[in-house]
Amino acid sequence: MTAPEDTRGVIHRREAIRRVGLMLGGVSFVGGSALLTACERQRPTTNNTSIGEFTPQDIAFLDEVAETLLPETKTPGAKAAKTGAFMALMVTDTYEPKDQQIFREGMIKLNDACREANGVGFMTATPQQRLALLEQLDREQKTYTDARDAARRESRASAEEHLPDQRQEAAPGTPTTITADAPAHYFRMMKELALLGYFTSEIGYTQAQRYVESPGRFDPCVPYTPGEKAWAPHA
- The answer to whether 210 and 91 are in contact (CB under 8 A) is no
Q: Is the pLDDT of residue 65 over 90?
A: yes
pTM over 0.75: no
* Residue 169 phi, psi (nearest 5): -70, 135
Find the helix packing angle between 186-199 and 83-94, rounded to 10°: 120
Q: How many residues are present in the chain?
A: 235
231: three-class secondary structure by DSSP: strand
With 0-12 / 13-18 / 19 or more C-beta atoms within 10 angstroms meaning exposed / middle / buried, residue 88 is buried
pLDDT tens-digit series, residues 198-213:
887 776 566 545 444 5
Alpha carbons 66 and 153: distance in angstroms, whole number:
31
- H or E stretch covering 168: strand 168-169
How many Cβ atoms from other residues are within 10 Å of residue 133's Cβ? Answer: 21
What mean pLDDT do residues 226-233 have? 64
- The answer to whether 233 and 15 are in contact (CB under 8 A) is yes
pLDDT tens-digit series, residues 126-176:
999 999 999 999 999 999 999 998 888 888 777 766 545 444 444 444 444
Alpha carbons 200 and 21: distance in angstroms, whole number:
13
What mean pLDDT do residues 43-65 have? 87
**Which range (55-64, 71-80, 140-149, 204-213) has the least confidence?**
204-213
Between 123 and 175, whose confidence is greater?
123
Alpha carbons 121 and 110: distance in angstroms, whole number:
9
Confidence (pLDDT) at 154: 84
User: Which residues in 50-62 are b (16+ Cβ under 10 Å) and which e?
Assistant: ebeebebebbebb
Q: Give the start-to-end residue ranges of the domains of the chain.
A: 5-120+185-208
Alpha carbons 188 and 100: distance in angstroms, whole number:
13
